[in-house]
Amino acid sequence: MSMLSKVQSGRIPKPPRVLCYGVEGIGKSTIGSQAPKPIFIQTEDGLDEIDCDRFPLATSLDQVTTALADLEREQHDYETVVIDSLDWLERLVFDRLCAEHNVGSIEQVAVEKASMLGLLADDALAVVWGDSDELNHSSRAFEGRMIKFGRSEQCQLRLSDYRAVGRGCVFEINGRLEVKLSVTGSHNALNAMAAIAVAQRMGVDPVDAAGELADFAGVPMRQEWIQAGPISIINDAYNANPSSLAAAGEVLSTAEGLRRVLIAGDMLELGDAAEDFHRQAGQRLGQSNVDLLIGVGALGRYIAIGAQDADVETLSFDSVEDILAEIVDLLQPGDAVLIKGSRSMGMERLVEAAVKGFEDPGKE
């Protein structure tokens, strides 16, 4: 049969694939709910205040793929599938990869991260954190252009100096370029360095990029400073992993307060070594300038146990609900308090309770 008989003409309609990107709380889920007849596949909490149809919260990749398969083969009236969110879907994918490849620690996921470099175009630029031995080893095979940022000597963009200044910081890149941020923490300095590398690739002068970063004020629930009467609260409740918890401890250690109190909840999706990761996180926090560490949750208590090894005063609660009723009595006027945990822990409820309790004039 001649190929001419197989010639097609006209447009072939295909459903659009839309990526909605923005900071937490800006309204991405709300936009999704306004799509034609939407059904949500939720991989993270946050839809309670939105009037929409949704599957139960997915805690595994299998649940996501099952929902998609059911939508494909069964009759229904939905016209739009909203996956909320891709950040948390990625975590479920990594959980599957860890299980399939018998990966027992998050460091070993560096191999999978580095494999994404192979998807870049030939003329692309890879901006890679240069302080991870695992990631450096896993990315050796990449032959494209790469800029590494970090503290180590091998980095083209090196954090050569860092100083916390009030609720912000000042740092230097390669001993030359000074950058000021209105958020604190050396991890934020490293993030800013990565942003400057990308800006430079897009033709922006590094000095101009540094100037623009000075106006960055952070986002809600990510080291968000709140003054509640006589106490200062650092709301870092959006999420947690061992690295970000260590960074939070660094931020709290430079905060002004009569006591520095860290309330740490479970860090989820850490695999079979989760208890060890939590204990190690507590030991590391015990070396920082923290006066009281409160562990919350089945895993959070291991953070407190680890901190005990470093002779830090600790308390433990089985759940957020258990500590909610006592949060105001546990804190004292003059405290600087940082609250952090995995997203599904809902640690922001403790922030809300503390704010309500200490903004009451009777608590001054």
Q: Are strands 38-42 and 53-54 parallel, antiparallel or unpaired?
A: parallel
Kindly state the tokens that stand for 44: 């993270």
Which of the pair, 159 or 11, is modelled with greater confidence?
159
Give the three-state DSSP class for 306.
Answer: helix
In the chain, list all ranges with CATH 3.40.1190.10: 110-213
Mean pLDDT along residues 82-86 = 90
**DSSP summary character for residue 332:** -
Q: Which CATH class is domain 224-363?
A: alpha beta
The percentage of the chain sitting over the pLDDT mark of 70, rounded to a whole number, equals: 94
Q: Once rounded to an integer, what is the mean pLDDT over residues 31-52?
A: 89
- The answer to whether the beta carbons of residues 103 and 61 sit under 8 Å apart is no
Q: Residue 264: is its pLDDT beyond 80?
A: yes
Residue 154 identity (one-letter amino acid)? Q
pTM of the entire structure?
0.64
Question: Between 358 and 132, whose confidence is greater?
Answer: 358
Q: How far apart are CA 283 and CA 3, in angstroms?
A: 70
Asked if the model's pLDDT at residue 362 lies above 70, the reply is: no
Contact 112, 99 (CB under 8 A): no
Question: Which residues make up the CATH 3.90.190.20 domain(s) of the chain?
Answer: 224-363
For residue 24, how far is the Cα from the chain centroid?
11
Residue with tokens 């900071």: 23
**137 or 234: whose pLDDT is higher?**
234
C-alpha distances in Å from residue 62, one per residue of 43, 45, 89: 12, 18, 11
Backbone angles phi and psi of 53, in degrees to 5: -85, 135
- The answer to whether residue 80 scores a pLDDT higher than 90 is yes
Considering the chain, what is the average pLDDT of its residues?
Answer: 88
When pLDDT is averaged across residues 8-31 and rounded to a whole number, the result is 82
Tell me what percent of the chain is helix, strand and coil, each rounded to the nearest 5: 40, 20, 40
Angle between helices 206-213 and 186-201 (to 10 degrees): 140
> What confidence tens digit (pLDDT) does each residue in 316-346 have?
999 999 999 999 999 999 999 999 999 989 9
Interhelix angle 242-253/274-286, nearest 10 degrees? 20
Phi, psi angle pair for 363, to nearest 5°: -95, 0
Q: How many CB atoms neighbour CB 285 within 10 A?
A: 27
* CA separation, residue 133 to residues 105, 140, 167 (Å): 14, 11, 31
Res 106: pLDDT: 52
Confidence of residue 101 (pLDDT cuts 50, 70, 90): low
Q: Is the confidence at residue 363, as pLDDT, over 50?
A: no
- The residue whose two tokens read 């479970």 is 266
Mean pLDDT, to the nearest integer, of 80-108?
A: 75
State in Å, rounded, how far the first CA of the chain is from the last one.
88
pLDDT of residue 364: 41
CATH architecture for residues 110-213: 3-Layer(aba) Sandwich (3.40)
Buried b (16+ CB within 10 A) or exposed e, 44-81: bebbeeeebebbeebeebebbeebeeeeeeeeeeeebb
Question: Residue 353's closest CA among 332, 325, 319, 317?
Answer: 325
pLDDT band for 103, please (50, 70, 90 cuts). Answer: low
Q: How many Å apart are CA 282 and CA 276, to the nearest integer?
A: 10
pLDDT > 90? residue 355: yes
What percentage of the chain carries pLDDT values higher than 90? 54
Task: Rank 56-65, 97-106, 198-207, 274-283 by mean pLDDT and report only the highest.
Answer: 198-207
What CA–CA distance (Å, rounded) separates 303 from 125? 39
Cα–Cα dist 250/187, whole Å: 9
Mean pLDDT across 263-287: 87
User: In the structure encoding, which two tokens stand for residue 287, read together?
Assistant: 């070396």
User: Does residue 107 surpass a pLDDT of 90?
Assistant: no
Question: Which pair of tokens denotes residue 324?
Answer: 């909610």
Model confidence pLDDT, tens digit, residues 113-128: 788 888 888 889 999 9
Look at residue 109 in the predicted model and tell me its pLDDT: 65
Residue 158 has pLDDT above 60, yes or no: yes
Residue 353 in tokens: 């309770």
